[in-house]
Amino acid sequence: MKYLEVIDDGDALQIRELSPSIISSVRNEEVLSTKSVQDERDIAETVRISGEDYYEIPGTILSVTVKYAWNTVEAKNILGHVLFSLTASGWFHYNPGVEVIYVADDSSAYANTFYGWSVESFSSSASRNTQIGTVNANAEFHHPILSDCNAWSQVQVDKAGNVYQDGAIY
């Protein structure tokens, strides 16, 4: 993303490119479930990986805070290889303590075709109100022999900058 600040000083418009400064970065990983399987095409473990990158964009008139936040749910096989994954992610722009200004959806789905998995369907959306911004993602993953799987993932950032993540594979 490119950020520009336009200032009207009374005589002319001044345009200045703003560079975001990263303040902090957080990453988390959590095993959601495990099961004993023999087939390397089958799901042995489901994992949730989440995180956030916190940026400030210092402007002349207004400074904006941006968080890139994501939540990934993924299925792994007995070898630890990713069979498929779904990520809800987005750029959340907010004025701390005042309002959520804008949300840009950056979600994705992945399937490992080597093990026979494919993305049957995928959808994502971004929404916001002054209190909170939300990115939702949904996908159906298909395998020609094994049972198909559905996944959903969500990430939210409120006007205080708190991040909420959830998701599952079923």
| pTM score, whole prediction | 0.90
Query: Residue 58, Cβ neighbours under 10 Å: how many?
Result: 12
Per-residue pLDDT tens for 77-127?
999 999 999 999 999 999 999 999 999 999 999 999 999 999 999 999 999
23 within some domain:
yes
155 within some domain:
yes
144 within some domain:
yes
Domain tally for the chain?
A: 1
Residue 139 contacts residue 150 (beta carbons within 8 Å) = yes
Residue 77 lies in domain: 19-169
Of residues 121, 65, 132, 61, the one with CA closest to residue 94: 65
2 within some domain:
no
- The neighbouring-strand residues paired with 149 are 141
41 within some domain:
yes
103 within some domain:
yes
13 within some domain:
no
